Structure formats: C-alpha cells, structure tokens
C-alpha cells in the first residue's frame, strides 16, 4: 500500500492510539471512521503507539466479557476504510505480527506518518 503514497485525493487522518479494551477510545475511533466514510470522506486510519495492540489477532475478549475489537476492525474495508496503516516502530517494539491479520495493514515509518498527517485536511486522534 505504500506505493499509494503520497495520497492524491483529499482525506482526513484518524489515529487510534490506545489499547483495545482499557478505554472506549478504540471503538470511538472506529465509529468516527465509519461516520466519516458514510458521508463520502476518505479516511486514512492509522494505528499508533499502544493502538497497535488492537491488531493482536489472538485477543481473548470473552475473558473480559467484551466484544472483539479485532472483529470490528475487520469490518473497516467493508465501510470503505481501505487506507489502513500502523506505526512501524510501535509494531516492532510490541512485536505485533501483521502477517496473519485478516485485512491489509501497511507499515509507516515515522517520516511517512508525518508526511501523511501534514497533507491531511484534518487529523483526529482517539
């Protein structure tokens, strides 16, 4: 997906920066993305910092009686959120394996992350 950079059409960035279950931030970010694409806004969705923990496929959500964030993330492309990235250093530091994830996530080095945010119409962080 990195060959799509720089992005041509106007877009907003939604950064999700929190682990999946400690707060509602992960769900809030997802719902914001769905609302934006619902009215035709192009969304670039980026997992940054602790937000990359949402990409753990083996989440044991039932142990805490919570709906699976990972399953909801799998719906991102169905809601026209197709530009999905993860901060490379956070993925490496937290040893997240992106290879077995059920949707396309591309790594962004920090300079690429800055470039994408710099060109965005808006940057929202949850």
Residue ranges in contact with other proteins by CB under 8 A: 12, 24-25, 28, 31-32, 35-36, 38-39, 41, 121-122, 124-126
Buried-exposed string 59-91: b where 16+ CB fall within 10 A, e elsewhere: beeeeeeeeebbebbeebeeebbbbbbbbbbbb
In the complex, the smallest distance separating the C-beta of residue 67 from other proteins, rounded to whole angstroms, is 13
Q: Which is nearer to other proteins, 21 or 91 (CB)?
A: 21
In the complex, the smallest distance separating the C-beta of residue 100 from other proteins, rounded to whole angstroms, is 31
In the complex, the smallest distance separating the C-beta of residue 41 from other proteins, rounded to whole angstroms, is 6
Q: Which is nearer to other proteins, 5 or 41 (CB)?
A: 41
In sequence order, what are the residues at sequence separation of 6 or more whose Cβ sits closer than 8 angstroms to the Cβ of residue 52? 86, 87, 90, 91, 94, 96
In the complex, the smallest distance separating the C-beta of residue 39 from other proteins, rounded to whole angstroms, is 5
Q: Which is nearer to other proteins, 29 or 91 (CB)?
A: 29
Q: Where are the alpha helices (DSSP H) in 6-119?
A: 25-38, 69-73, 88-93, 110-119
Q: Which is nearer to other proteins, 34 or 106 (CB)?
A: 34
């Amino acid at each position: 997906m990195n060959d799509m950079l720089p992005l041509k059409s106007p877009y907003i960035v939604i950064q999700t920066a929190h682990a999946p279950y400690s707060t509602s931030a992960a769900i809030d970010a997802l719902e914001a993305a769905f609302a934006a694409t619902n009215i035709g806004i192009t969304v670039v969705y980026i997992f940054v910092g602790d937000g990359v923990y949402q990409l753990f496929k083996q989440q044991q959500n039932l142990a805490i009686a919570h709906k699976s964030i990972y399953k909801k993330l799998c719906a991102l492309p169905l809601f026209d959120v197709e530009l999905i990235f993860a901060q490379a250093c956070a993925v490496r530091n937290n040893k997240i394996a992106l290879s077995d994830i059920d949707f396309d996530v591309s790594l962004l080095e920090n300079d690429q992350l800055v470039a994408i945010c710099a060109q965005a119409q808006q940057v929202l962080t949850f």
